[in-house]
Amino acid sequence: MASSALQLLGFLISLIGVAATVAATVMVEWTKNFRGEHRTYEGLWMECESDDIELWICETHQTLIKLPIEIQATRAVMLVSLFLSAVAVMVSVVGMKCTHFLDDVPDSKSKTALTGGILFMISGLLTIIITSWYVKMIVTESGELDDKLRKEFGHAVFVNWAGGLLTVIGGIFLSCMRCCGTKSSVSRSPSQLLPTTKPKSNYV
């Protein structure tokens, strides 16, 4: 029962991480550009600009070729990460102890849960790696700009980091349940190690 609860906890943590990753992917504040009163927010799918606090003009990216390399690469990796997360959700649901899928083959059910956990971990690691690389690119570019233009990364970066970390932690929980289950099935109590039948005595 305890292992089933921990497995469910890991799955829920992963779901929260995936939800944060989805939110970060569609957010506009990946990069913030400031030139005086003029501000521009760049996201993976959209760009917004404003000369006034109350008025914002947003438009989607029309072409992929003209986009900066950091946006192109981050967009591609995030789509792969979300695809892996979607597969991990379906696989984990089949392999979790609280569901009734594969109940007649418990070993296959346990391996399925392990596979789901690994997929979650890969997805989270991809998210963390590409976000860190994106930040590195923005920091490098901001150091090469003139004093009138200021460029920095936005809130979507922190949301994505948190989402990737939670996804990895949830995947670890799901994977560890496979290890714990294997150990518990192999271990035996001292009473099981004692012979159940007494040796026959020799009668004269």
Domain that holds residue 111: 7-27+67-182
Whether 82 maps to a domain, the answer reads yes
For 121-167, the pLDDT digits (tens) are 999 999 999 999 999 988 887 776 666 777 888 899 999 999 999 99
Mean pLDDT of 192-202: 47
Phi then psi dihedrals of residue 188, to 5 deg? -130, 150
| Residues with Cβ within 8 Å of residue 115, at least 6 apart in sequence | 91, 95
In a domain, 173, yes or no: yes
* 134: in domain: yes
Identify whether 170 is part of a domain: yes
Task: Say what the pLDDT of residue 1 is.
Answer: 54
Average pLDDT over every residue of 9-28: 93
Is residue 126 situated within a structural domain?
Answer: yes
Q: Is residue 14 part of a domain?
A: yes
Q: What is the per-residue pLDDT for 106?
A: 63
Question: What is the reported pTM?
Answer: 0.78
| Confidence bin at 84 (pLDDT 50/70/90) | very high
Lowest mean pLDDT across 47-56, 105-114, 118-127, 185-194: 185-194
Contact assessment for residue 14 and residue 166, using Cβ atoms and an 8 Å cutoff = yes
Domain assignment present for residue 19? The answer is yes
The CATH number for 18's domain is: 1.20.140.150
**Who contacts 10 (Cβ-Cβ below 8 Å, separation ≥6)?**
117, 169, 170, 171, 172, 173, 174, 176, 177
pLDDT band of residue 179 (cuts 50, 70, 90) is: low
Tally of domains within the chain: 1
Rounded average pLDDT over 35-54:
79
Given a contact cutoff of 8 angstroms between Cβ atoms, the answer to whether 151 and 142 are in contact is yes
Q: Is residue 60 part of a domain?
A: no
